Amino acid sequence: MPTVSKGDGMRGLAVFISDIRNCKSKEAEIKRINKELANIRSKFKGDKALDGYSKKKYVCKLLFIFLLGHDIDFGHMEAVNLLSSNKYTEKQIGYLFISVLVNSNSDLIRLINNGIKNDLASRNPTFMNLALHCIANVGSREMAEAFAFEIPSILVAGDTMDSVKQSAALCLLRLNRTSPDLVPMGEWTARVVHLLNDQHLGVVTAATSLITTLAQKSPDDFKTSISLAVARLSRIVTSASIDLQDYTYYFVAAPWLSVKLLRLLQCYPPPEDAALRSRLTECLETILNKAQEPPKSKKVQHSNAKNAVLFEAISLIIHHDSEPTLLVRACNQLGQFLQHRETNLRYLALESMCTLASSEFSHEAVKTHIDTVINALKTERDVSVRQRAVDLLYAMCDRSNAKQIVAEMLSYLETADYSIREEIVLKVAILAEKYAVDYTWYVDTILNLIRVAGDYVSEEVWYRVIQIVINRDDVQGYAAKTVFEALHAPACHENLVKVGGYILGEFGNLIAGDSRSSPLVQFSLLHSKFHLCSVPTRALLLSAYIKFINLFPEVKATIQDVLRSDSQLRNADVELQQRAVEYLKLSCIASTDILATVLEEMPPFPERESSILAKLKRKKGPGKLPDIDENRRNVNGSSEHSFRPPFTDVLNLNSSPSTGPSLLVDVFSDSSTSVSVDVSEDNFSRFVCKNNGVIYENQLLQIGLKSEYRQNLGRIYVFYGNKTSTQFLSFSSFLNVHAKSVDPIIEGGAQVQQILNIECVSDFTDAPVLNIQFRYGGTLQNIAVKLPVMLNKFFQPTEMTSQDFFQRWKQLGAPQQEVQKIFKAQYPMDTDVTKAKVLVLLCWNGVDPNPANFVGAGVIHTKSTQGGLPPQTGMYRLTLRTSRESVSQRLCELLGEQF
Amino acid sequence: MMRFLLLFSRQGKLRLQKWFTPIPEREKKKIIREMTTMVLARQPRSCNFLHWKDLKIIYKRYASLYFCLAIENHENELLALEVIHRYVELLDKYFGNVCELDIIFNFEKAYFILDEFLLGGEIQETSKQIVNRCIESSDMLQEDDSSEWYEVELFG
């Protein structure tokens, strides 16, 4: 029997625990536990009422069993009973059990809430604390409902004990995190801010946590906290270390509170008030100065606490991004840490410098440390430190040092830990592309990447190199030559075979003049890899072969023999077999012209955000990727980072080129049918309540619309703008409505107009699609745009008295005539804006619902519409009644998206 | 904020678990497994920080016990190390030269001390004196009913 038990030791519990510890096997432990569970169950079920002590002891045993990892399905009720005990330790165990075991949606919450309520009302600070701890630990919605109103008043009441205030502040913080809608903001918020002035530093610390969270959500409401926080911080950093008594931690004055205050200030831009601003700058300077002072203690706790404050101050300096001197000082300080003997500090310095690298003030200063960082990459023993070094190199990279950094990363890759290789590959690929001055370097880098770490080169990376080679004709010959040479390696990675197959298939002709890389040599080289490759790669190679037949008629017979062989024509894999059969047939029956058309060189890919960057962002999670944009952050010191449009389309080759089939391997699949193009309807819904605007835009063409409607007739003016400097040839558009034909040539930079006349014959749901085709630089472009011709455009307002309206409304009472939709507001609810939209959509005037007239099929259907739009709770209810079910449905769809 | 605190032995036996956000039991077990394998695999003299999912893991070994604290991404790593240290000091003060056995046999006390120190994933009270006074005064509140000490129990 060990004697380690302390306080109100429960002897039975200690014995049980040592029994468990003595169990030799898992089975023995389970047996012992089951025995105990049976015992406890019988005690709880027994006739004899248990005294408080026994109840406490058994509940505690159950808790122990649960914490060992076993399920507990009883005892909750007994634990709840303990809450009403007036003995502190019993209550305490009850609360502990509940905090650990009761999940937030238990049906016991009502009973628990009752216990909490009593303790909160007890005015006994120890009991109140237990109750508040329990709320903060469980934090369920029911608890928030029951106590969210009460806790703020406990927090700000003048007679509340300090320790209770601390618990109340953090309890409120927890409820605000879990159910923000239930925690009412009110006059207490102003008083909470004033807790920053409290005498008790523990209260200030807890309050600062609460205020920081609230300020992140509604900064304006807590603006007054800035000056109080600066004042408080100033007092702490200038205090002598003994002033703060027990809040001094290893000779550092209130490190926790300092960090919290610095964190709070990071919710805001630099203070506008000059005096306040200079006071804050002084604080930050003092903190930076202290870093240079000799340590007051050799203990690591001292340096950790001191540097914790320093790093938080640097975070604030970076966040403000407005004081060049501070930024450079911060950078120098971190530079010192880069060579510190403490691994932790080196790690943090690397991490912190990543963010400094994105500020234009300190970017250059960060760059001066490049050699130290490269050295860290080579010599650090700890993989997580090396990883931070990779991150920093990535962040500090620009055109001036890209070649050095990429080379270092490539050489590190050869020995890098497997866990971080893929990320490094992505980073190298991005940097190589972004800072490529000449694309031969880019091609070399990517091929090296495949050579060194082929297994970690994801699809996106090799897709991207092909996109770039196809889009830049100055690098195509070099790329062909380089892949050709690389393919000579005895064991080359399959990814290289893919790139090689694709590039030689497209541009092999550029190097075919040299007898060392004649068509036949190229083909034999590729085919020597064929049998070692996986099915997708082989499929790609087959496509490369058919492209060879087009490029080099002299190897046609050789390739046909290969395609004809049993291993191809009768391949067990359906895809390979089909390709072999089809390519063989194509090569036999198609004339040279047809072959040349079908197997034409791939058109340029539209310029979009690199798919590799998108992948890295996904991998790292939002916000973690340092911005390597050339435009570093602005000098304005505002907290907003520059707006970057979200990438909606994670591009990969499969969806890329705007003309027809995308991958080389797809070359055959679409050639028999007409080219199908995705219909663009990105801007479609924006036109529900407006008639003019830009409906489509890509890098070549902009299409604008101006439209007008009268009864069942509509007219749309379509403006095609050529954004390039080259002519569009054979421009044409087809539509299922009457259109005056458009000029077949659009000069570079010019705009032409086309008029479309529209008549609404009957109600409809599908909008007409405008197909556009033209030649740009030798390639055929196909664009399809959904025209915003919608049912509601043919509304005609009709004057009607309210009485007439309601009569009509009642006539349309059949269930299928009415459609109702209740939906959440997508936009802020503003009565005027809503009214204006309703006006445009439904031609409905004023507050009284007026009817509208609907014209279709040459017959006038009278329909009425009522929009009930009570601006409450962020929801709208839209009710529509028309004489036709389909009309109601479609209108509801259209209108429902607009609020 | 802090997300969770785990204490485990060098053999990977869990000694204390504190979760500051609601997490399903299955998920907890998964995290515990991941943390123990990850932290125990670290080489000596490595840094005390790890990135894990969207969190930072701060760990430190005291004698036979590993303390492993998960904090959100923007939180201060060094201070998190000192959170761990302060907790160790609190345990030490209460038990007097704390060892793993103290925490095993008095796990409920370890939780009580933690609740006075951290609440809802934030620091509640950093003063060692105040936390200790708080714990000691609650110990004073215990009822000295000696008859219960010698109660005959069926199992031990």
Chain A residue nearest residue B140, CA to CA: A7
Distance CA A559, CA A541 (A): 11
Please tell me the least confidently modeled range out of A393-397, A650-654, B58-62.
A650-654
Residue ranges per structural domain of chain B: 2-155
Chain A residues with beta carbon closer than 8 angstroms to that of B81: 304, 344
Give the range with max mean pLDDT: A528-532, A668-672, A844-848: A528-532
Q: Which residues of B touch A243 (CB under 8 A)?
A: none
Q: pLDDT tens across A712-727, in order?
A: 777 888 888 887 777 7
Q: Point out the least confidently predicted range of A147-151, A616-620, A856-860.
A: A856-860
pLDDT of the residue at A542: 92
**Which region among A85-94, A514-523, A682-691 has the lowest average model confidence (pLDDT)?**
A682-691
What pLDDT, on the 0 to 100 scale, is given for residue A825? 63
A678 pLDDT more than 60: yes
Measured CA to CA in angstroms, residue A831 lies from A691, A802, A875 at distances of: 22, 21, 13
Q: Which residues contact A256 (CB under 8 A, 6 or more apart)?
A: A205, A249, B79, B123, B126
Q: Letter for the amino acid at A747?
A: E
pLDDT over 90 (residue B62) = yes
Nearest chain A residue (CA) to B149? A11
Tens of pLDDT, residue by residue over A85-107, are 888 889 999 999 999 887 655 67
What average pLDDT score do residues A369-396 get?
92
Q: In this structure, what token pair is assigned to residue A465?
A: 């190199």
Task: Beginning with the edge strand found earlier in the chain, give each strand of the sheet holding A875-881 in spatial order.
Answer: A795-797, A852-856, A859-866, A875-881, A818-824
Q: Was domain A791-897 assigned CATH 3.30.420.40? A: no
What pLDDT digit, counting tens, does each position of A463-503 carry? 888 988 998 888 999 999 999 999 998 888 999 999 999 99
Low-confidence winner among A536-540, A755-759, A840-844 (lowest mean pLDDT): A840-844
A563: exposed, middle or buried (Cβ count in 10 Å: 0-12, 13-18, 19+)? buried
Question: Which residue, A762, A776, A758, A763, is CA-closest to A718?
Answer: A758
Tell which residue, A170, A151, A150, A235, has the closest CA to residue A199.
A235
pLDDT digits 0-9 by tens, A31-82: 999 999 999 999 998 877 888 888 999 999 999 999 988 888 888 889 999 9
Residue A514's region, left for phi above 0, alpha for psi from -120 to 50, else beta, is beta
Indicate yes or no: CB of A249 within 8 angstroms of CB of B82: yes
> Which of B47, B69, B95, B141 to mutate to test binding with chain A, by most A CBs within 10 Å of its CB?
B47
Give B77-88 pLDDT, tens digit per residue: 999 999 999 999
Would an 8 Å CB–CB cutoff place B154 in contact with chain A? yes
Provide the pLDDT for residue A625. Answer: 52
pLDDT, residue B139, reads: 76
**What's the average model confidence in pLDDT over A321-339?**
93
Residue A378 C-alpha from the chain's centroid: 32
pTM here?
0.69
Q: Is the pLDDT of residue A242 over 70?
A: no
| Domains A684-786 and A791-897 are alike in CATH topology | no
Phi and psi dihedrals of A775, rounded to 5? -105, 130
pLDDT of residue A773: 80
For the annotated binding site of A, the residues are 11-12, 43, 53, 57-61
Q: Look-up: residue for tokens 């070649």?
A: A403
Average pLDDT score, chain A: 81
pLDDT tens for residues B34-46? 999 999 999 888 9
pLDDT band (50, 70, 90) for residue A638: very low
- When CB atoms are compared, the residue of B107, B111, B130 closest to A202 is B130
Q: Are A882 and A812 in contact (CB under 8 A)?
A: yes
CB pairs under 8 A between A and B: 210
Summarize the confidence of residues A595-603 as an average pLDDT. Answer: 86
Residue A609 confidence class, pLDDT cut points 50, 70, 90: low
The pLDDT assigned to A639 comes to 34
A332, with CB counted inside 10 A (0-12, 13-18, 19+), is: middle
Phi, psi of A341 (to 5 degrees): -80, -20
Confidence at residue A332, expressed as pLDDT on a 0 to 100 scale: 93
Structure confidence at residue A842 (pLDDT) = 47
Residue A776: its H or E element: strand A769-776
pLDDT at A712: 74
Predicted pLDDT of residue A620: 64
pLDDT digits (tens, 9 = 90+) for A273-286: 999 999 999 999 99
Architecture of domain A684-786: Sandwich (2.60)
For residue A421, pLDDT beyond 80: yes
Asked if B43 has any chain A CB less than 8 Å from its own CB, the reply is yes
List beta partners, residue A726.
none
For chain A, what are the domain ranges? Answer: 45-293, 438-598, 684-786, 791-897
Report how far residue A127's alpha carbon sits from residue A119's, in angstroms, rounded to the nearest whole number. 5
pLDDT at B36: 96
The pLDDT assigned to A664 comes to 32
CATH tag for B2-155 (out of 3.20.20.70, 3.30.360.10, 3.30.450.60, 3.30.70.100): 3.30.450.60
Q: Which residue from A minimizes the CA distance to B45?
A: A343
CA atoms of A363 and B82, how far apart (whole Å): 31
Q: Which B positions 73-112 lie with beta carbon below 8 A of chain A?
A: 73-74, 76-79, 81-82, 85-86, 94-95, 101-102, 104-109, 111-112
pLDDT given at position A383: 87
In CATH terms, the fold of domain A45-293 is: Leucine-rich Repeat Variant (1.25.10)
